[in-house]
Amino acid sequence: MSQFIDVESLWKVLVAGLLGGAGLAAVYALGLAGLSAYTAEDTNSGARPAGLAVAVGCLLIVLAGAGLGIYVMLAK
């Protein structure tokens, strides 16, 4: 469009920022919700093992994202 703004690169940066910023925060919140379901006092619910599985999976994704971010920053 413009000779000064590369729109294709701008979209790539926007998507990466959303995934790395708000996306990881949303996955972290989902992990905490799964952990809350796991530790709920209602023992008759079948959500306990599923809540733990969701929590572990989400928190591993967040740790991997943070580790990737640190690796990319220190790779220079």
Nearest to 54 by CA among 29, 76, 73, 72: 29
Q: Is residue 34 part of a domain?
A: yes
Q: Is residue 3 part of a domain?
A: no
d(C-alpha 69, C-alpha 72), whole Å: 5
The residue segments making up the domain with residue 27 are: 22-74
pLDDT tens-digit readout, 6-36: 888 888 888 888 878 888 999 999 999 998 8
d(C-alpha 18, C-alpha 73), whole Å: 18
Interacting residues of 62 by C-beta distance below 8 A, sequence separation 6+: 24, 27, 28, 31
Angle at CA of residue 66, ends 63 and 67, nearest 5°? 85
Q: Is residue 2 part of a domain?
A: no
Q: Is residue 14 part of a domain?
A: no
Judge if pTM exceeds 0.75.
Answer: no
How many domains is the chain built from?
1
Question: Which residue is listed with tokens 């925060």?
Answer: 25
Q: Is residue 47 part of a domain?
A: yes
Q: What average pLDDT does the segment 33-50 reach? A: 77
